[in-house]
Structures are given as structure tokens and as C-alpha cells.
Amino acid sequence: MPTRVHDFDWPDRIVVGTIGRPGERTFYLQVRSGTRTVSIALEKQQSALLAEKIDEILDQLLTVEGNPFSVPTGTPPELVDNDPLDTVEEDFRAGTMSLGWDPTTAQVVIEAYPLAEDDADDIDDVAPVSDPDDVDSEMLLVRIPVGTARAFAKRTREVVGAGRPACPLCGYPVDPDGHTCTLPEV
């Protein structure tokens, strides 16, 4: 079966956002170009790691003599996007993701593949998909310029960090309804 590729080159918008209250949030990577929007569900950890790795790539590119790719050190103010997600219709839940750099276009490249259906119930035991024919033939391919990538990473870190606060004693999340923790025995 041919792979259905949701391909975005220089999208109008790319953000990570959530639906739900802290502790019950679902994370989405949403990409829009014109009237076409794709939303894929992510785990919180995937979102955090994606932002971290994008910043690592950009920081490494900053060390290239003369900064030939014009990588910004911070988020360009004109690229800040604090708007909520557009209407979400989940296209798929992300399993394997990859991140790369295309020096010919000076763009960060994000690829996301669906979580294998057999593994969807037990996300902690998901292994990378070795055969694309084993899952629905679908993928997200996004290419974004360096300034947009920096803004995307910043927003994603903020969204991830906006969850439940950590208990100062045990470090576990504190729910709005309260929290009971047991301290480790000394």
C-alpha cells in the first residue's frame, strides 16, 4: 500500500498544544498550511524531547563559523505563537519520530510515523517500527526554517512545563484535588 504523506514545506503554522486539564492532557503536534491542517497526538515525553533535540541542532549550527544559516540565538518575537490549537481532528498517534537538518534549504526536518496498532494499548513497550508495511501507511513530513524551529521549541517547552506542579517533598505531580506522598525512609 502506498504511504500517505502529509507533507508540509514552509508551513504557515507548526505548534505543540494540548487539550484537557493538567494531568489529563493530550498533546498534539499541529501543522497548518492554507486550509489544510494535520494534528497528530504525541506523548508529553515525545514533545519535550522534540523541543530539546531541535534546540540542540540549532545550537550546534550556531557554532559554524559565520553562522551561515542565520540561526537565531533566541526566539524571534515576530514568530511567537501563543494561540490555542486550531480545531483538532487527530490524524494519527505518533510512534517513531525522526529529526534532521537539510543544509540545502536551511530547514529542520521532522518526520512522524503512526504508532503500531498492536502497541497502541501499551505505549511504554513500543519499539521502533522496522517495517513500514506493518502499520498504516501514513507519515507526517515537515520542513521548517531555523527561526520557526526556534519558536516551535520554545513554545513546546512552555506547553510541557505548564502541567501539574511537582511536590517539593517527593517530586511527583500534585493534582488539583490534592496530593498525598510518602517520604522515603531514612
CB atoms inside a 10 Å sphere around CB 147: 16
Distance, in Å, from the CA atom of 106 to the CA atom of 68, rounded to the nearest integer, reads: 9
Instruction: Give, as one character, the DSSP assignment of residue 99.
Output: E
**The total number of structural domains that make up the chain:** 1
The pTM of this model reads 0.82
Instruction: For residue 54, tell me if it sits in a domain.
Output: yes
Tens of pLDDT, residues 132-157? 455 458 999 999 999 999 999 999 99
CA terminus-to-terminus distance, the chain: 59
Instruction: For residue 177, tell me if it sits in a domain.
Output: no
Tens of pLDDT, residues 27-62? 999 999 999 999 999 999 999 999 999 999 999 999
Question: What rounded mean pLDDT belongs to the chain?
Answer: 88
CA torsion sign, 157 to 158 to 160 to 166? positive
Instruction: For residue 31, tell me if it sits in a domain.
Output: yes
Query: Domain span at residue 144?
Result: 2-118+131-160
Instruction: For residue 173, tell me if it sits in a domain.
Output: no
Q: What is the CATH number of the domain that holds 19?
A: 3.30.2450
Give the whole-number percent of the chain exceeding pLDDT 70: 86
> Is 60:69 a contact under the CB 8 Å cutoff?
no
Q: What pLDDT, on the 0 to 100 scale, is given for residue 129?
A: 45
Give the burial class of 32: count Cβ atoms within 10 A of its Cβ; 0-12 exposed, 13-18 middle, 19 or more buried. Answer: middle
Q: What pLDDT, on the 0 to 100 scale, is given for residue 123?
A: 47
Instruction: For residue 91, tell me if it sits in a domain.
Output: yes
